[in-house]
Copies of this chain bind each other. A is one copy, B any other.
Amino acid sequence: MALDKDEVATRVLAIAERLLEEGGSAQLQARTIAREAGVSVGSIYNLFGDLADLHRAVNMTLLDRLGAAGAEAMRDMQARGVVRPRERLIALANAYIAFVERHAGAWSALLAFNRGPAAGSHPSWYTERLDTLFAIIARVLDDGGYGLDPVRRDLAARALWSSVHGIVTSGYVGAGRGAARDEIRAQVDILVECFTAGLEAIRDGKAEAR
């Protein structure tokens, strides 16, 4: 049987993502994927290297979609004339929350993957995708007129990203689903409020803590 490589790869990726969504990397078994895709185990390895490479390929599609969700949120704000960094950062955080809710299992598997042994050797196309996400936040900070030099602006963008990420991933502890979402939104709100007010105060030389 002649196989269309691209078509098979797309099918294998979709199956792999569903397995990751359902049960994390423990579910990512070559034999299961091969059976569901109707191809041999060998074709999967030919297409993706090993299972870590396949997981990384799924992660890449997730990061691409998260980047697209961020870009869409920015376009939407542009259209509605939302320019204040505080509102923009909260809208971006909300886009992230919605994405994590939609892909809870696969996103959790991505985080576990990034903490695992394979993470040390991320190829450049992987870290470039993370940089694309940070760049969206960096642009908001630039537009905010905080007068940050590029190094400090990028550091602030990564710190905001990690902080929102921490709020979203630890916000579910000890709370029901609805209460958890309210708690997450309230934490994001006070974080962004204080962070942007702090950037302003530091720019204006008003911060005692400097």
Name the residue of chain B whose CB is nearest to the CB of A104: B115
A interface majority secondary structure: helix
**A1 proximal to B (CB < 8 A):** no
A120 adjacent to B176 (CB under 8 Å): yes
A200 adjacent to B209 (CB under 8 Å): yes
CB distance from A121 to the nearest CB of B (A): 10
The segment from A14-22, A36-44, A65-73, A189-197 found at the interface with B is A189-197
Q: Which of B166, B191, B208 contacts A169 (CB 8 A)?
A: B166
Residue numbers of A with Cβ under 8 A of B are 26, 84-86, 108, 111-112, 114-115, 119-120, 122, 126-127, 130, 152, 155-156, 158-159, 161-167, 169-174, 176, 183, 186-188, 190-191, 193-202, 204, 206-210
Name the residue of chain B whose CB is nearest to the CB of A206: B206
Q: Which of B127, B158, B190 contacts A187 (CB 8 A)?
A: B158
